[in-house]
Amino acid sequence: MSDGHIALAGLGHRFDNGLVALREVDLAVAPGEFVSIVGPSGCGKSTILRILAGVLAPSAGQVSIDGVDVRGRPGSAAYMAQKDLLLPWRRAIDNAVLGSELDRTDEAAARERALAWFERFGLAGFERAWPHELSGGMRQRLALLRTFLFRRDVLLLDEPFGALDAITRQDMVTWLAEVWAADRRTALLVTHDVEEALLLSDRVEVMSGRPGTIIDSVAVPLERPRPAELVTEPEFVALRARILRSLRSGHALAH
Ligand SMILES: Nc1ncnc2c1ncn2[C@@H]1O[C@H](COP(=O)(O)OP(=O)(O)O)[C@@H](O)[C@H]1O
Ligand SMILES: [Mg+2]
């Protein structure tokens, strides 16, 4: 895909109760780029994704996808919210096609396309399962599958593995890198896990404490695929150290 350009300029947000969540956020993501945002809890990471998803209007600045202002236009990007929003009363396949329903695409075709993806997402055989019958990892994969099936050039992923244990997480990171590489859509991932960010991204953006702004931007020139063992390599260790240093200085700034 050739589109999927994200642009944020001078982005700021103050909630109705007066809390200032973001100030002067500038960020551009090129088509096909994978960028992660890391930052302390409460610094406004989810707020940025909600603004890009068009479900929250920022109080200052510009926000666009492929040059189009997304304010008040939900659905410009495929968005996975921090809390997985599977509908408990719908079977796995019916959850997976929710996005296509919003697009009013041909239902039979959408279901057929979705079924073909179940295997790729490690969910073969669970097409008709209820969400409560799935493990935590499977539920996260189903929420991701639904996001991937929503045909948009931009993927917004808010801590997609947040609720998983360390081992499952590691498998999921390797696996996400693979599915993403298959069609390389623009991806903006929020995570609090620096290793996860480095294993997945072309670039890692570091935010300060609230009100959040970007205080460091770190290119990740590591070849893909990136096996989990990479985390002990000197180049990886140096990148991680730089990001942790920035996180610490951003924390100090805010206090
Ligand atoms: N609707 C809201 N009204 C007021 N404050 C909010 C609202 N949503 C989030 N916040 C606050 O804004 C700050 C940023 O939130 P969020 O973007 O969720 O942070 P992060 O995802 O980085 O942990 C937090 O202090 C949070 O409590
Ligand atoms: Mg969040």
Domain containing residue 166: CATH number: 3.40.50.300
Residue type (1 letter), 84: D
Reported as a single tens digit per residue, the pLDDT across 61-102 is: 999 999 999 998 999 999 999 887 899 999 999 999 988 777
Domain enclosing residue 30, as ranges = 6-77+154-254
pLDDT for the residue 1: 45
pLDDT for the residue 48: 98
Q: Which two tokens stand for residue 192?
A: 């609090």
Reported as a single tens digit per residue, the pLDDT across 99-147 is: 877 787 788 888 998 999 899 888 999 999 999 999 988 998 999 999 9
Quote the Cα angle for 113-115-118, to 5°: 120
**Residue 117 CA, ligand 1 centroid: distance in Å:** 34
pLDDT for the residue 253: 61
pLDDT for the residue 109: 87
pLDDT for the residue 177: 95
* 206 and 232 share one domain: yes
**Residue 111 CA, ligand 1 centroid: distance in Å:** 36
* 10 and 44 share one domain: yes
What residues line ligand 1, using a CB cutoff of 6 Å?
15, 17, 19, 21, 39, 41-47, 210
What rounded mean pLDDT belongs to the chain?
93
**Residue 193 CA, ligand 1 centroid: distance in Å:** 19
* 120 and 242 share one domain: no
Q: Which residues of 218-231 are buried (b: 16+ CB within 10 A; e: fewer)?
A: bebebeeebeeebe
Ligand showing the shortest atom-to-Cα distance for residue 13 = 1
* 129 and 174 share one domain: no
Quote the Cα angle for 74-215-24, to 5°: 50
* 98 and 217 share one domain: no
> Is 1 contained in some domain?
no
Domain boundary (151, 178, 208) is at 151
What mean pLDDT is predicted for residues 220-247? Answer: 96
Reported as a single tens digit per residue, the pLDDT across 165-221 is: 887 888 889 989 999 999 999 999 999 899 999 999 999 999 999 999 999 999 999
Distance of alpha carbon 13 from alpha carbon 174, whole angstroms: 34
Ligand showing the shortest atom-to-Cα distance for residue 209 = 1
Furthest C-alpha separation in the chain: 55
* 163 and 239 share one domain: yes
